[in-house]
Structure 1
Amino acid sequence: MPTLHLRFYEELNDFLRPEQRKTEFLHTLNRNASVKDVIESLGVPHTEVELILVNGVSVDFSYAVQDNDRISIYPQFESLDISPLLRLRDKPLRQPRFVVDSNLGRLARYLRLLGFDCLYRNDYRDVEVAEIANRQRRIVLTRDRLLLRRKIITHGYFVRASLPREQVKVILRRFDLYRAVKPFSRCMRCNSVLVDVNKKQVLERLEPLTREHYRDFKRCDRCGQVYWRGSHYDRAQLLLKELIESEPD
Structure 2
Amino acid sequence: MTQIRLRFYEELNDFITPALRKVEIVHVFFRKASIKDIIESFGVPHTEVELILVNGISVNFAYTVKDGDRISVYPKFESFDITPILRLRPKPLRLPKFVIDANLGRLTRYLRLLGFDCLYSNAYDDATVATISSEKNRIVLTRDRRLLQRKIITHGYFVREVTPKLQVKEVLKRFDLYRLITPFTRCMHCNGILENIEKQQIKEHLKPLTKMHYDNFLVCSGCKQIYWQGSHYKRAKQLIDEFMQISG
Post-superposition shift, 1:91? 2.4
Q: Does the 8 Å contact 1:59/1:87 carry over to 2?
A: no
TM superposition outliers: structure 1 runs of 4+ over 4 Å: none
Kindly provide the amino acid, as one letter, of the partner of residue 130 in structure 2: A
Kindly provide the amino acid, as one letter, of the partner of residue 70 in structure 2: R
What does residue range 124-139 of structure 1 map to in structure 2 within 5 Å? 124-139=124-139
Post-superposition shift, 1:247? 4.8
**Quick one: distance in 1 between partners of 2:20 and 2:119?**
36
Post-superposition shift, 1:236? 0.8
Residues 5-39 of structure 1, C-alpha deviation per residue, up to 9 Å, x if partnerless?
A: 11101111011111110111111111111100000
Aligned to 1:23: 23
**Quick one: distance in 2 between partners of 1:87 and 1:169?**
26
Kindly tell me the number of residue pairs found equivalent between the two proteins. 248
Kindly provide the amino acid, as one letter, of the partner of residue 74 in structure 1: Y
Kindly provide the amino acid, as one letter, of the partner of residue 146 in structure 2: L
Q: Does the 8 Å contact 1:16/1:42 carry over to 2?
A: yes
Kindly provide the amino acid, as one letter, of the partner of residue 26 in structure 2: L
Report the TM-score, using the length of structure 2 for normalisation. 0.98
**Quick one: distance in 2 between partners of 1:156 and 1:69?**
27
Post-superposition shift, 1:114? 0.4
Residues 157-186 of structure 1, C-alpha deviation per residue, up to 9 Å, x if partnerless?
A: 011110000000000010000000000000
Post-superposition shift, 1:205? 1.0
Aligned to 1:201: 201
Aligned to 2:84: 84
Aligned to 2:4: 4
Kindly provide the amino acid, as one letter, of the partner of residue 95 in structure 2: Q
Q: Secondary structure at the match of 1:110?
A: helix
Q: Secondary structure at the match of 1:90?
A: coil
**Quick one: distance in 2 between partners of 1:170 and 1:45?**
18
Q: Secondary structure at the match of 2:219?
A: strand
Identity %: 62
Q: Which runs of 5+ in 2 are unaligned?
A: none
Kindly provide the amino acid, as one letter, of the partner of residue 141 in structure 2: L
Q: Which runs of 5+ in 1 are unaligned?
A: none
Kindly provide the amino acid, as one letter, of the partner of residue 221 in structure 1: S
Aligned to 2:223: 223
What does residue range 147-162 of structure 1 map to in structure 2 within 5 Å? 147-162=147-162
Q: CA RMSD in A?
A: 0.9
Aligned to 2:179: 179
**Quick one: distance in 2 between partners of 1:97 and 1:118?**
6
Q: Does the 8 Å contact 1:178/1:247 carry over to 2?
A: no
